[in-house]
């Protein structure tokens, strides 16, 4: 898991990435999901949530990065 998160610094849109909406993306690491935002202009990647896949995994994703917009 740590390697996948640190790798986002070099490539914020790796193979298999899914765009959620706006600057928000998610990657899959086994049964886990890493939800993060990419701000290209600022060269910034913010990880907002790491959770096991479930129906509730993506609840509240929009609010995670609300202050950064």
Domain range annotation of the chain: 2-57
On whether the CB atoms of residues 39 and 67 are closer than 8 A, the answer is no
Structural class in CATH, domain 2-57: alpha beta
Bigger pLDDT: 68 vs 44: 44
Identify the band that residue 62 occupies on the pLDDT scale cut at 50, 70 and 90: confident
Q: Where are the beta strands (DSSP E) in 3-52?
A: 18-21, 24-29, 32-39, 44-52
b/e code 1-21 from CB counts within 10 Å (16+ = b): eeeeeeebeeebeeeebeeee
Distance separating alpha carbons of residues 26 and 18, to the nearest angstrom: 5
pLDDT of residue 67: 59
User: Across all residues in the chain, what is the average pLDDT?
Assistant: 90
Q: What is the pLDDT of residue 63?
A: 81
């Amino acid at each position: 898991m740590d390697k996948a998160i640190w790798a986002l610094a070099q490539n914020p849109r790796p193979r298999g990435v899914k765009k959620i909406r706006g600057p928000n993306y998610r990657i899959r690491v086994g049964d886990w999901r890493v939800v993060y935002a990419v701000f290209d202009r600022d060269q910034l990647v913010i990880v907002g949530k790491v959770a096991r896949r479930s129906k509730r995994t993506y609840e509240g994703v929009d609010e995670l990065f609300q202050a950064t917009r």
